[in-house]
Amino acid sequence: MESKISERAIDDVRPLKVIYIGAGVSGILACIQFPKHVPGLELVVYEKNEEVGGTWFENRYPGCACDIPAHAYQLSFESSTDWSSFYAEAPEILRYWQRVADKYNVRRFMKFRHQCTEARWDEETAKWHVTLLDLASGQVVRDVGDVLMTGVGALNRWEWPEIPGLHDFQGKLMHSADWDAAFDPEGKSVAVIGAGSSGIQIVPALLPSVASMDHYVRGRTWISPSLASEFVKARNNGVDGNFSYTDEERAAWKHDRESYISYRKSIETEFQGLCMAFYREFPQQVAMRELFAEEMRRRLQGRPDLVAEMIPDFAPLCKRLTPGPGYLESLVSPKVNVVRSKITAVNATGIITDDGVHRPVDAIVCATGFRSFQGSFPVYGRGGRSMQEHLGSRPRTYLSICTDGFPNFFQTLGPNSGLGAGNLVMAIESATLYVARVLRKLATENVKTIEPRARHVDSFTRFCDEYHARTVYTDKCASWYKAGRTAAEKERGAVIGVWPGSGVHLIKAFQEVRWEDFEMETVDGNDFGWFGNGLSGADRTSDPEGLSWYLNDTNFLHENQS
């Protein structure tokens, strides 16, 4: 009979190495939370860019900002009272994350300008073998770790639209996610293709400098009233437009924490509270539609043609909603020509549409989106199985963060991780903390591998489909929330972009790890090995602190007193 004694103290921590890909918001959080939960953890974060920040480092198009209120787009434990405006622009958001990175000294875990090219699970050693390209030297670098985690974002792979002749264009051609800072739009004729969140921000930002703009809008999209409207109205006697906070407001919040927290909570509450609006049966759905339509008509005043062309026939929130400050106002400018005809080709000088019209321009901006949830490098799990093939056209995950057949692998912002409303930073925080607990188990409880049971992966995936059938996401609108390549496929595909529930539901779901939903293998084959050999580490070393630790541990005392 095999021994039930494992030669380890009950609180021994085994050496554990985590390889993390990406130093965006998720990677920064991992560097803060993982070492706190797993003492002695070896953590290495590889990042292809030369700096932290991820999407906020990369996206530099004019007008790039967060259309979520700044106070609801920050860490729960790092509330800045200093945001300059209700909606913060990308450089200010990047500075926030750089400050957080400095404060927690996270760069000590990071290797910049290293692009991951492949990750492969090795069954024999139960380790992830990761291949990277050192972008500075051009050398191939290899690393090996017990756990692989990715925080590469859902929308990291931008792509050119499939338009014949696009690359024959002889003027300036740019994608929103790969902006050339040297491009000067002053006095130019510019085409902006796409009216998603990026296009909606680029149009008003470019408008003042361009001579003229053709804005190609293929589908329709709801532009919501700004959440800031009450705030703005209170400040500007009802006049829209000024979203800035005053120095006095910021100083007051800085000195009166309570009043700040109450302000932040009011924004979070309003945002989280939007969740009921996603249900088809939501009684206020009709009222919401009417309110949005009314607001769009108001902002498109004097242009009934645009009102008729722009207002969608699907429910608000089917596509990602954006308040688009200044967007509709730009469309009524005499400088802007909204083109609803389908683009058929691009040639050396401009864009041709299906009505045969050729519109010459100096520059074309493709604000045409990303290939969502593609990861950014191939990952091979048990038996050499490719993650891309495993996920296929309808990705199957457990809670968006892991999947069967890929042991010791986790990700943030995987399929079904996004939020139609709520605080995405809190969602990343919750998922990262959840994985920190898993890492702690791997390090301290004789666990070698962990992966979700296939039936729970199936259950989560089926839940997503059943749940989303109740929501307006499954209305007929083309959106990156849905699986598919073409606009037509994206109208009907499974909803893979968003979490099946509210933002608060997500936070609660990640609060405890349901170990019973996972398969685990032990380090030494002893399924009672977590119990060790009957000693604690302090017993072995006669460490006086360790022999009476419970008298210093506030959690322990608190739980025993209550």
Residues 349-368 binding ligand N01 (CB under 6 A) are 367-368
Residue 482 sits in the site that holds ligand N01 (CB under 6 A): no
Residue 95 or 390 having the CB closest to ligand N01: 95
Residue 195 or 421 having the CB closest to ligand N01: 195
Which uninterrupted H or E stretch holds 19? strand 17-21
Identity of the residue numbered 123: E
Residue 385 sits in the site that holds ligand N01 (CB under 6 A): no
Residue 116 or 203 having the CB closest to ligand N01: 203
Residue 197 sits in the site that holds ligand N01 (CB under 6 A): yes
Query: Which of 42, 43, 41 is closest to 27 using CA atoms?
Result: 43
Residue 199 sits in the site that holds ligand N01 (CB under 6 A): yes
> Are 269 and 261 contacting, i.e. CB atoms less than 8 angstroms apart?
no
Phi, psi of 89 (to 5 degrees): -85, 160
Identity of the residue numbered 260: Y
Nearest-approach distance from CB 524 to ligand N01, in angstroms: 45
Nearest-approach distance from CB 345 to ligand N01, in angstroms: 11
Residue 404 sits in the site that holds ligand N01 (CB under 6 A): no
Q: List, in order, residues 6 or more apart from 276 with CB less than 8 Å away.
A: 282
- Tokens 């050693």 sit at which residue? 125
Class of residue 390 by CB neighbours under 10 A (exposed 0-12, middle 13-18, buried 19+): middle
- Among 33, 81, 176, 416, contact with ligand N01 (rule: CB under 6 A): 176
Nearest-approach distance from CB 380 to ligand N01, in angstroms: 28
Residue 72 sits in the site that holds ligand N01 (CB under 6 A): no
Residue 67 or 92 having the CB closest to ligand N01: 67
Residue 223 sits in the site that holds ligand N01 (CB under 6 A): no
Class of residue 486 by CB neighbours under 10 A (exposed 0-12, middle 13-18, buried 19+): exposed
Residue 66 sits in the site that holds ligand N01 (CB under 6 A): yes
Query: Closest residue to ligand N01, Cβ-based?
Result: 196
Residues 462-481 binding ligand N01 (CB under 6 A) are 478, 480
Residue 194 sits in the site that holds ligand N01 (CB under 6 A): yes
Residue 487 sits in the site that holds ligand N01 (CB under 6 A): yes
Residue 80 sits in the site that holds ligand N01 (CB under 6 A): no
Nearest-approach distance from CB 198 to ligand N01, in angstroms: 3
Nearest-approach distance from CB 367 to ligand N01, in angstroms: 5
Stretch that binds ligand N01, among 100-108, 198-206, 405-413, 442-450 (CB under 6 A): 198-206
Query: Which of 497, 517, 494, 500 is closest to 464 using CA atoms?
Result: 500
Residue 405 sits in the site that holds ligand N01 (CB under 6 A): no
Residue 128 or 499 having the CB closest to ligand N01: 499
Residue 60 sits in the site that holds ligand N01 (CB under 6 A): no
Please provide the DSSP assignment of 336-393 as one string.
EEEE-SPEEEE-SSEEEETTS-EEE-SEEEE---EETT--SS-EE-GGG-BHHHHHTT
What does the H/E/C string look like for 84-145?
A: CECCCEHHHHHHHHHHHHHHCCHHHHEECCEEEEEEEEECCCCEEEEEEEECCCCCEEEEEE
The one-character DSSP state at 246 is: P
- Among 18, 317, 343, 496, contact with ligand N01 (rule: CB under 6 A): 343
- Among 56, 216, 245, 410, contact with ligand N01 (rule: CB under 6 A): 216
Residue 326 sits in the site that holds ligand N01 (CB under 6 A): no
Query: Which of 163, 151, 155, 244 is closest to 196 using CA atoms?
Result: 155
Q: List, in order, residues 6 or more apart from 292 with CB less than 8 Å away.
A: 222, 223, 224, 225, 316
Nearest-approach distance from CB 267 to ligand N01, in angstroms: 15
Contact residues toward ligand N01 (CB under 6 A) are 65-68, 155, 161, 163, 176, 193-199, 201, 216, 218-219, 320, 343, 367-369, 478, 480, 487
